[in-house]
Structure 1
Amino acid sequence: MGKEKETGRIVVGIDGSAESIVALREAERVAKATGSWLDVVTCWSDSTFAAGQSSTSASDLENRARQLLQDSVSNTFGTPLPDRVSTSLVRGQPRQKLIELSDGADMLVVGRRGHGGFSGLLLGSVSQACVAHAHCPVLVVNMGHDGESL
C-alpha cells in the first residue's frame, strides 16, 4: 500500500455574500471533521469589481477585495486565525482561478450564488463551471431560509 496523506486541503471561494459565508462555515466544518487545511480564497479582477465604477484603480479594487477577505474570515473565525486556516487573494476571474486552485485540493467549496458586495464573484455560473471542470470534488452549499446550509 502507498503512504496515506497526513492532511488534506480544502479550498473555499468567498465573495462576502451571505451565500459565500455559509459556504465558508460549511468548509470549516468539513475541514475540522477531516483534519484538513482550509484555504479561503477571494478572487478579484478589474471587470469583476469595477462594474459602474469607472474611476476605480486596480490598487483600490485589490484593497477592497483584501478587506472583504479579512473581514469575512475574522467574522467567521475570530483573530488570530486557527492554525489550519490560510487566506489567498487571487487576481483573475473566479471560475478560472477556483478551477486552477482545485488542482491538488481534496475539495472545492462554493456557495450556490454570490451577488454580494462584490457582485459577480461567485454567481451560479461560477459554481456550475467549478462542478463541471474542477480537479477535485466540489461541494456547492445552498443557503437555507434560516441563513444556514441545507
Structure 2
Amino acid sequence: MAKAAEKIIVGVDGSEASIEALRQGQRFALATGARLEAWGCWEYPAGYEGYLAMGVEGFAHEAEEKLERAIREAFGPERPRDVVLRLVHGSPRTELVNGSRQASLLVVGRRGHGGFAGTLLGSVSGACVAHAHCPVLVVHPPGSEGSMA
C-alpha cells in the first residue's frame, strides 16, 4: 500500500507569530516534500448561539479573510502551490489537536508576553504541545527572544 503524502498543519490566527509559523512550516514542507495546510479555526463567540437563528453571520467570512491576509503577508501575492487553505469550524485547541492525527508536523505560533509570562505557552500552543499526536513546533514572533528568524 502506498504511503499517503505527508502533511504539515499550521495553525493561523493572523498574529505575527502565526505568520512566522507559516514561513517555518513552508521551510519544513519544502525540505520534506510534504503538503502544507494552513488552518484558520473559528467558532462563534460565547453567547451568540441564541442569535444565530436571527441571522448573525460573518464569523467564518472574517476568519477566512484573516487566513488569506496571513498567507499574503507570509508569502507575498503568489501563494506557493503546495499551500492549501483550510477553514475549520471549532475551537483551535480541539481542532488542531484532532488534525494532528493525520499530520507529520503541527506548527503553531506563540504570541508571548515577555518576562516571566513570556516563558509560559499560550492556551492553544500549550494544548497542542501537551496533546498533539505528532511533533509540534512552537514558533515565536520575528524579533522576539527565542525566535528562529
Task: Kindly report which structure 2 residues correspond to 1:9-20, keeping only aligned pairs within 5 A, or say none.
Answer: 9-20=7-18
Tell me the matched-pair count.
134
Post-superposition CA distance 1:86-130 (Å, at most 9, x none): 011111110000011111100000011389xxxxxxx71111111
Please say if residues 16 and 142 of structure 2, whose CA atoms lie closer than 8 Å, have aligned partners that are also in contact: no
The answer for the alignment partner of 1:139 in structure 2 is 137
Task: Note closer, same or farther for the CA distance 1:80–1:143 as it changes in structure 2 (3 Å cut).
Answer: closer
Instruction: From 88, 95, 98, give the equivalent of 2:96.
Output: 98
The answer for the alignment partner of 1:30 in structure 2 is 28
Task: Note closer, same or farther for the CA distance 1:130–1:104 as it changes in structure 2 (3 Å cut).
Answer: same
Runs of 4+ deviating beyond 4 Å: none
Q: Tell me how large the CA RMSD over aligned residues is.
A: 2.6
Q: Whole-Å Cα distance in 2 between the matches of residues 144 and 5 of structure 1? A: 35
Q: Whole-Å Cα distance in 2 between the matches of residues 7 and 77 of structure 1? A: 23
Structure 1: runs of 5+ lacking an equivalent: 51-56, 116-122
Instruction: Identify the range of structure 1 (38-47 vs 137-146) with the bigger mean alpha-carbon deviation.
Output: 137-146
2:57 matches 1:21? no
Letter in 2 for 1:96: T
Task: Kindly report which structure 2 residues correspond to 1:68-147, keeping only aligned pairs within 5 A, or say none.
Answer: 68-113=66-111, 124-145=122-143
Identity %: 46
Letter in 1 for 2:33: G
Instruction: Identify the range of structure 1 (80-89 vs 60-69) with the bigger mean alpha-carbon deviation.
Output: 80-89
TM-score of the two chains, using structure 1 as the length reference: 0.78
- Give secondary structure in 2 for the equivalent of 1:12: strand
Letter in 1 for 2:29: A
Please say if residues 17 and 142 of structure 2, whose CA atoms lie closer than 8 Å, have aligned partners that are also in contact: no
Task: Note closer, same or farther for the CA distance 1:44–1:58 as it changes in structure 2 (3 Å cut).
Answer: farther
Post-superposition CA distance 1:43-65 (Å, at most 9, x none): 111127x8xxxxxx652111111
Please say if residues 22 and 147 of structure 1, whose CA atoms lie closer than 8 Å, have aligned partners that are also in contact: no
Q: Whole-Å Cα distance in 2 between the matches of residues 58 and 107 of structure 1? A: 35
